[in-house]
Amino acid sequence: MIEEEKMTMENAILLMKHIGYLKTLKNVRSNGFYNSELKRRFERMIFEEEKKKEEKNEKLFVDLCECYIFLSCSFTPELLSICVPCLLKAALHKEENEEVQTEVEMALLTLSEMGYGEMKQELYLKEITEIIKHQQKHRNLTKLAYQFAWSFLNYRLFVDNSLEDTIVNELHFGREAARELEELTRNVNWKKKKEEMSKEERKEELSLMRWLQTSNVYFSGCQLQNEEFAEILSSISYVFRASNDNHREIDLWCTYPLINAVENRVVKVYDLMKGGAVKAVLERIQRQTLNEGMANECLQFFKNVSNRLEEEEKDEKEEEERKATKMETFKKLEEEGYEDTIISFHETLKILNRRYYLGLSLKISDYFVNI
């Protein structure tokens, strides 16, 4: 269509950015662009624009990088070395007018789409740290834009664990994520179904869900012990208790970071108790409206808690803390009638195992904490 002059390049780029934006927010994946002539044309245009000096069209350059990353599923080191600095430069604009903030949000969203792509720290660390610190001081970014910045940085953990100190001790992801989740929880109307929400309400819900996704990445990749674990677990547990049958997607996204926190060997069971995670999952598993998918996640959580307590038992240095934690956990399980809940699931375990491959034992003692 471009070649036949049925559509201008400017309009084509605008359309592709819009498609990429919606595709990303709705977590849709497509490989159709990967081997297309359009991809090769974009690559040529990016390389050509990057070589220009005085005549470089900065806006076109940013647009080309955004379209390319939005629609691609893999990136060469050469393309990353060009696109990442370009997008970070666009994201560093600090003007607070709506047009600039929209472009900043778009640039950060594009960066967050790079996923686990490996890249050298000198390409991004100074700039993304500046963006996050400026937001912490001035709060000038949209909630989505701030989440996109963290998403981009947290994904780097999987290929570069030297970032842990920056993420945990310098930028304090746990504290920031907890604050954002608590604020968004207050803003979401939990009584409304998605189709009943206004555009702004849906945006708040989307932002909350993406913070849960970023927290899941954090617990999956961060192996540095820190005091903010309990803080962020408390906020996720608060969201989990606040959500209901109208927000099942949020429900599931709450369970993922909780399960990964249990599996993360540096998160203590004490942190889970202190953060209210055990109580929140107990409350959910006893709901009459509990579906099979959620039952699977809740049971998996408690199975992992049991496994972690067995591991902590082997560490003699933490013997007293372990005993106190086990007693507190057992007391809570007993108070909430968890034993009756587990027994009630025995009749459906075969179905759950067939559908979710739980491999759960029918022995109650496997899920209880006995001194």
Its pTM surpasses 0.85: no
**CA-wise closest residue to 110 among 97, 121, 98, 124:** 124
Helices (H), the chain: 9-25, 37-51, 58-71, 77-91, 98-112, 125-138, 143-155, 164-165, 173-187, 199-221, 229-242, 248-263, 269-274, 277-285, 292-313, 319-335, 338-345, 349-356
CA distance between the termini of the chain: 72
Given phi > 0 = left and psi -120 to 50 = alpha, else beta, which region is 70? alpha
pLDDT by 10s per residue, the chain, length 371: 555 556 677 787 888 787 777 777 666 666 666 677 777 888 898 999 998 877 788 899 999 999 888 877 778 889 999 999 999 999 999 887 888 998 999 999 999 988 887 889 999 999 999 999 999 999 989 888 999 999 999 999 988 989 999 999 999 999 999 999 999 998 888 888 777 888 888 888 888 999 999 999 999 988 888 889 999 999 999 999 888 767 888 988 999 999 999 988 888 888 888 899 989 998 888 887 778 888 888 888 888 888 888 777 666 556 666 677 767 766 766 666 655 655 555 545 555 555 554 554 544 445 444 33
CB-based contact 370:325 (threshold 8 Å): no
Domain count, the chain: 1
Q: Are 131 and 91 in contact (CB under 8 A)?
A: yes
Calpha distance 122→130 (Å, rounded): 13
The token pair that represents 139 in the structure block: 């709060």
Q: Is 21 helix (H, G, I), strand (E, B) or coil?
A: helix
Q: Where are the alpha helices (DSSP H) in 156-276?
A: 164-165, 173-187, 199-221, 229-242, 248-263, 269-274
User: HSE of 307 in the Cβ direction (CA atoms, 13 Å)?
Assistant: 14
- Residue 131: predicted pLDDT: 97
What burial letters (b/e) apply to 306-344, b meaning 16+ CB within 10 Å?
Answer: bebbeebeeeeeeeeebeebbebbeeebeebebeebbee
Is residue 299, in this structure, part of any structural domain at all?
no
Residue 368 falls inside a structural domain: no
3 state SS of 9: helix
Question: CA 79 to CA 335: how far, in whole Å?
Answer: 57
> What is the spatial distance between Cα 324 and Cα 222, in angstroms, rounded to a whole number?
26
Q: Is residue 120 part of a domain?
A: yes
244 Cβ neighbours under 8 A, 6+ residues apart:
190, 191
How many CA within 13 A on the CB side of residue 100? 11
Residue 245 lies in a domain: no
Is 70 domain-assigned? yes
Q: Tell me if 238 is assigned to some domain.
A: no
Q: Is position 311 within any domain? A: no
116 CB-near residues (< 8 Å, 6+ apart)? 155, 158, 159
- Count the residues in the chain: 371
Residue 131 lies in a domain: yes
Domain interval for residue 14: 1-160
